[in-house]
Structure 1
Amino acid sequence: MNPDYLPAIGASLRILADYATWREVTDQTLDDIAAELDRARAAVAGARGRRTANRCLRHPGGPVDPQALNGCLLCGPAHPQSATPIPGDSTPADVLAFYDEHGHDAAAGRYGPQAVTKALALRNRRPNPRPGPPALPPTEESDPHR
């Protein structure tokens, strides 16, 4: 049995129990009851299966993200987590050297994904063709032709 579906089963049963007190039932109400019964049946069918690795009710067979709170790669990014701080004593050159020697996963584990991304972005940046600081716009004192 997969206990991850028990909250969904309980919610469906509570909704269905609320319909029992209604005095006036229309065709739309019957359609709503039928839809809720279908959701309850689907949750019971899911509970009969084995436990999934990602504990996600919306994407029970989806890909796994070990960093996400519920283990789901698809909806895990919706729950923001604090980023790994970039180590202050390392430079992008250090990160790139470690990256080239040990690979992406090892570099991300040691320096954090933000530091690796920043270092790779700096590696792929084109150098500025104009050396020196950018020119200032002319002023009245610096431009004799004004």
Structure 2
Amino acid sequence: MNHAQLVALGRALRVLGEHGEQLSIDTLDAQLHEIRADLNRALTQLEESVSKPKPTTRCPEHPTGPVDESARDLCLLCETRRRAAHQPTAMDDFSPPVAAKEVRVQSRYGIREDRPQPHERWVPEMWNGKAWQLCGTPRRGRREAELYISAQRRQAKAASAYRVVHAFTDHVVVRTWGNTEVPAAPHRIAYRDD
């Protein structure tokens, strides 16, 4: 709908609103014919301004797509995508066969599939003055983590200390750069005389 169509349609609807306010039991047939002509004019302008077909669904992505009455937005395409995402397959690449999951006697240490597999990560951390905090995404290699910390130390706002933590089954500090102890200095408050 362009601006001219919008203005014309708004004007026609305002005229119809004025007719609605003036309706009463004493309304003459000539006035009813005038209302009918104004109503037809508004409907014609509305038909000219509508360029797309009537939406069949409440889906903003597929407004004229196929309809599924059981879907919350009536869209068959989106509902099919949602159903496919929620249904796990019986056998996929990441899960062992169903028969392999069954264990007759359970060990006191648990089943291997129940425990998560350890992930080896090299975690870069920085000293913020009170505690160690993560300063980047965990890396898969030690060299990559050390290169990242070297780049961090070259920045203008570098922390006082950095370290790399090897996170495998336990967390082990591998290497530390800088000093975490800040010398205790008296606090000075500067006042300006204006």
More contact order relative to length (CA 8 Å, sep ≥ 6): 1
Bigger share in helix: 1
Bigger share in strand: 2
Which one has a bigger Cα radius of gyration? 2
